[in-house]
Amino acid sequence: MGMVFSESDAKGAVVELLRPAGVQLNGDYPWDIRVHDPRVYKRILRHGSLGLGEAYMDGWWDCQSLDEMFARLLRAGIDRKVPWNLTTIWHTLSARLVNLPRLRAFAVGERHYDVGNDLYKAMLDSRLAYTCGYWADATTLEQAQLAKLDLVCRKLGLHDGDRILDIGSGWGSFILYAAQRFHATCTGVTVSLLQCAYANTRAHRLPSSVPPPVTLLQDYQDTQGTYDHVVSLGMFEHVGAQNHRSFLREVRRLLRPGGLFLLHTIGSSRTKTAADPWISKYIFPNSLIPSARQLTDALEGLFVIEDWHNFGPDYDRTLMAWFGNFDQHWHRNSLFREKYGERFYRMWKYYLLVSAASFRARTNQLWQLVLSPDGIRGGYHSVR
């Protein structure tokens, strides 16, 4: 916290931190760091992961294979060896002490999802599914996302006419699919203005024989009604540890007796009380990836776990596909580059590739849980 380093001392400390991961400064391997500004060493030691990420955004260092570099760092546990600093302590205390009010639930929509639909159209599949694809039998991103939507429907055992609620419904990929495939009556809720408008526009273009899904711009706590099934694909990470149980209480309130809740969430292999400071500042404000312990503590007495499916490595493949699409579009479209700028490119590249590394190193997982309020008589039969 009050550390004073000479440049050479700081460089030596960083070299020692990297050594167990087999990552070198100015080495010859694709995962080695190429230093452009020697001030980076002190910045890393003073500001931890926030300093490392911001230094990359500022062009102080580069790496040919960011994803592999971070996979090596995470496997070696380097993230747990960097000295704590005031930034890290502040993020940790804030996450522990603050129960975020409803108005701040919209911050992630404004900061992340409302960046621009053109960005997500360039990066995602045609349905704009912004969660992990299911690659068991898929060879393309399009196939993997379709397989994921189908998997969710099969796990819920959807029937024609079922009433479905999607909490954190994004650009409507799931509710549009469920409406078309099962003629389900679907409602989605999102905190993103751009997502809401886009999803409703797509819904209005469906054939007249399909019940048009409705997307609402609202916090999940304001949702009313009773639904046959509830899904939440990639939203639980934004709830925060202080709100896990209240979120699940709300889901139970909205779910009819005998209905199922499918929770699709990134999961952490270790219990944490705060998100990474760089991710919080630049990508997902007020977020926290839950651990299995945090999740089961929040579920106790509210739901029976009928099925718990982990396909975390599929997120590595999904994120690399997203980066490939984004990178290709970036270099082909000058107007796109002019709109967002080089610093945004470095930030977005860093986000996607570091995220891929976390799944490759198996420090992050992708979980799908099928939950019932009171347990299914005779048991649940998994379809995976």
What is the per-residue pLDDT across 233-246, written as a single tens digit (0 to 9) for each?
A: 999 999 988 899 99
Return the pLDDT at 240. 86
Bridge partners (DSSP) listed for residue 372: 304
Q: Residue 226: which domain range?
A: 102-372
Give yes or no: residues 111 and 78 share one domain: no
| pLDDT at res. 106 | 60
The distance from CA 276 to its chain's CA centroid, rounded to whole angstroms, is: 13
Annotate 114-132 with DSSP letters as a single string.
TS-HHHHHHHS-TT---S-
Alpha-carbon distance of 86 to 46, in angstroms, equals 9
For residue 263 the two structure tokens come to 């929770």
Q: Can you give the pLDDT at residue 50?
A: 92
Between strands 214-217 and 185-190, the pairing is parallel
287 vs 228, residue with greater confidence: 228
**Residue 125 pLDDT > 50:** yes
Residue 90 forms part of a structural domain? no
Give the Å distances, CA to CA, from 164 to 183, 211, 232, 256.
Answer: 11, 12, 11, 11
Closest to 372 measured CA to CA, from 307, 310, 309 = 307
Tokens of 15: 């070299």
43 shares its domain with 118: no
CATH number at residue 288: 3.40.50.150
pLDDT at 89: 42
Same domain? 125 vs 155: yes
pLDDT digits (tens, 9 = 90+) for 52-109: 999 999 999 999 999 999 999 999 998 877 654 444 444 444 444 445 455 456 665 5
Task: Indicate whether 96 belongs to any domain.
Answer: no
pLDDT at 216: 97
Residue 286 pLDDT > 90:
no
pLDDT per residue as tens digits for the range 170-181: 999 999 999 999
Q: Of 83, 117, 143, which residue constitutes the final position of a domain?
A: 83
Long-range contacts of residues 37-43, Cβ cutoff 8 Å, at least 24 apart:
37/61, 38/7, 38/11, 39/7, 41/5, 41/7, 41/10, 41/11, 41/13, 41/14, 42/5, 42/7, 42/10
CB atoms within 10 A of CB 277: 22
One domain for residues 167 and 204: yes
Out of 29-43, 85-99, 312-326, least confident range = 85-99
Same domain, 62 and 139: no
**Exposure pattern of 166-192 as b/e (b: 16+ CB <10 Å)?**
bbbbbbbbbbbbbbbebbbbbbbbbbb
19 and 118 housed in the same domain: no
CA–CA gap between residue 314 and residue 359 (Å, rounded): 8
Nearest to 118 by CA among 128, 109, 110, 108: 128
Could you say which of 18, 49, 83 is where a domain stops? 83
Q: 22 and 115 share a domain? A: no
Give me the mean pLDDT over the 294-321 stretch.
98
Higher-confidence residue of 81 and 30: namely 30
- 70 contact partners, CB below 8 Å, separation of at least 6: 353, 354, 357, 358, 361
Whether pLDDT at 112 is above 80: no
Spatial distance between the Cα atoms of 2 and 163, rounded to a whole number of angstroms: 57
Residue 95 within any structural domain of the chain: no
Residues 143 and 281 in one domain: yes
Q: How many CB atoms lie under 10 A from the CB of residue 35?
A: 17
Instruction: State how many domains the chain has.
Output: 2
**Mean pLDDT computed over 293-315:** 97
Instruction: Report CA-CA distances (Å) from 246 to 43, 100, 168, 220, 373.
Output: 39, 12, 16, 11, 15
Q: In the Cβ-directed half-sphere of 91, how many Cα atoms lie within 13 Å? A: 24
Alpha-carbon distance of 273 to 77, in angstroms, equals 17
Same domain, 295 and 335: yes
Q: How does pLDDT run across 200-245, given as a tens digit for each residue?
A: 999 999 999 999 999 999 999 999 999 999 999 999 999 988 899 9
| d(C-alpha 234, C-alpha 179), whole Å | 20
Residue 288 to residue 290: CA distance in whole angstroms: 6
3-state secondary structure of 9: helix
- Considering 53, 83, 113, which residue would you say is the last residue of a domain? 83
Q: How confident is the model at residue 116 (pLDDT cuts 50, 70, 90)?
A: confident
> In this structure, what token pair is assigned to residue 28?
């010859």
What is the structure's pLDDT at 95? 45
